[in-house]
Amino acid sequence: MNDKKKQIDLIEDDWDELSEDYIQEEKPLSLNKRSQLKRKKKSNKVLKRCLAVFIIVGSLFLLFFGTRFGRGLIYRMASSYVYGSLVHDEEATEAMSQNNNGIVGRQEDGVTNLLLFGIEEIGGARNTDSMMIASINSNKKTVKLVSLMRDSYVSIPGWKSTKLNAAYAKGGAELLIRTIEENYKLHIDAYASVNFESFEKIVDSIGGVSIELGKEEAKYLRRTNYISNPEYRTVKAGVNTLNGNQLLGYCRVRKVKTLGGANNDYGRTVRQRRAMNAIFDKVKSQNIFKTVSQANKWMGYVTTNITRDQIEDIIVTVMEYRINTIDTLRLPVDGMFDDPKSYEGVTYPLVLDWEKNIDELYRFLYE
């Protein structure tokens, strides 16, 4: 009896909040009806709270993704995270900072030129197997990629003139950058390098990339050791998803024609540019959170002297302007070089017409 009385007392306390319809009827409500109304009231409170949370979360989402200010905060956090994951070359940073007092080569505000190169360390060698300049232009809203042929005959500061790929072995990243700046008359803002093993791990960390192979290319990769792991010599003509080991082998091939007909070292630079485009396409197809989470896996393989601000500028340019393509160029340009069997004691170099090639380089990068 006492329990029933307590239940009646609780319901009577909420009597003033009952529906007017029931009050106007002037009929006593059953305990069941009153309990239903009370539960309904509690449900309405829960719904209101959920709606309030949804509105707050939605407002924050619009703040961070719907406004430039909000996205800027995300870009800054992302750039700080990426910067902290990289292997920093402090010596090159200091050397380049000192050299910038007397900048050699063209430099423009809003344009960041990054030297990207891969280091071949097979048999104790320290040559640069591939060299590219990635130019991010926030003024033109473009990303462009320039391949530098490794056999290009260049003047190396403090050393005898020889092929470009020998500069790194003689003086590391600093000397390679100085050599490029003085010969190509282009200012380099920073560099990033990987060795073969690191390149494979980076490609694997993003799940591989799509590359289309010609029939001759596929056959060659299946029967040679360019793909160093025999288990992966399973590529076929057509579109393949290549893992790191396969893509590295693809980038190093030069003895068969590419899909499209380029051969020798010219074909190899074509493959390297296609590989970089494929990596770019894979990364930009993902959301920024997934890309940043992957950075923890592969940024530790990259040695660089890039600054946090430069990383942020690159992220902002690519993300804000929704850059979806990379235009490419190879130096030397066809018809603007000679390839003698020997030149000044160097065998099979590419002897550039520097004035014409530099003119093409400026036209390509700065339009």
Cα distances (Å, whole numbers) of residue 224 to 121, 228, 251, 253, 364? 19, 8, 14, 10, 36
Q: Are strands 337-338 and 327-331 parallel, antiparallel or unpaired?
A: unpaired
3-state secondary structure (DSSP) of residue 188? coil
Separation CA 232–CA 220 (nearest Å) = 13
DSSP 83: H
Separation CA 303–CA 242 (nearest Å) = 24
Q: Minimal CA–CA distance to 87: which of 195, 204, 247?
A: 195
Angle at 128 between CA 216 and CA 242, to 5 degrees: 40
State pLDDT tens for residues 224-275.
999 999 999 999 999 999 999 999 999 999 889 888 877 788 888 999 999 9
Amino acid identity at 136? I
Distance of CA 169 to the CA centre of its chain: 27
Separation CA 221–CA 235 (nearest Å) = 7
CB 342 within 8 A of CB 151: no
Cα distances (Å, whole numbers) of residue 276 to 25, 149, 251, 279, 346? 78, 16, 10, 5, 30
Separation CA 113–CA 136 (nearest Å) = 7
- Residue 312: its H or E element: helix 308-320
pLDDT value at residue 58: 45
* CB-based burial, 12-46: b 16+ in 10 Å, e otherwise: eeeeeebeeeeeeeeeebeeeebeebeeeeeeeee
CB 274 within 8 A of CB 211: yes
pLDDT value at residue 357: 97
pLDDT value at residue 65: 47
pLDDT value at residue 19: 47
Residues whose CB falls within 8 Å of the CB of residue 314, separated by 6 or more in sequence, listed in order? 112, 136
Cis peptide before 340, with omega less than 30 degrees from 0?
no
- Residue 210: its H or E element: strand 209-213
State pLDDT tens for residues 198-210.
899 999 988 999 9
pLDDT value at residue 80: 83
pLDDT value at residue 259: 84
State pLDDT tens for residues 24-58.
444 555 556 656 666 666 666 666 566 555 555 44
pLDDT value at residue 75: 78
Residues whose CB falls within 8 Å of the CB of residue 230, separated by 6 or more in sequence, listed in order? none
Q: What is the pTM (predicted TM-score) of this model?
A: 0.76
Domain boundaries, the chain: 76-366
Q: Which is the CATH superfamily of the domain at 76-366? A: LCP protein (3.40.630.190)
pLDDT value at residue 320: 79
pLDDT value at residue 70: 67
Separation CA 60–CA 132 (nearest Å) = 40
Dihedral (Cα; 265, 266, 271, 276), 10-degree rounding:
100
Q: Within 13 Å, how many C-alpha atoms sit on residue 52's CB side?
A: 6
pLDDT value at residue 15: 47
Separation CA 217–CA 232 (nearest Å) = 15
Q: What is the pLDDT along the chain (367 residues), one digit of tens a residue?
A: 555 444 545 445 454 444 444 444 445 555 566 566 666 666 666 665 665 555 554 444 444 445 666 677 777 887 887 788 888 887 766 666 666 555 678 999 999 999 999 988 665 667 788 999 999 999 999 999 999 999 999 999 999 999 999 999 999 999 999 999 999 999 999 999 998 888 999 999 889 999 999 999 999 999 999 999 999 999 999 999 999 999 999 999 988 988 887 778 888 899 999 999 999 888 877 776 676 666 667 778 889 999 999 988 888 888 777 887 889 999 999 999 999 999 999 999 999 999 999 999 999 999 7
**Tokens 């485009």 label which residue?**
277
Residues whose CB falls within 8 Å of the CB of residue 226, separated by 6 or more in sequence, listed in order? 220, 249, 250, 252, 253
* Residue spans of beta strands (DSSP E) within 30-151: 87-88, 111-120, 127-137, 142-148
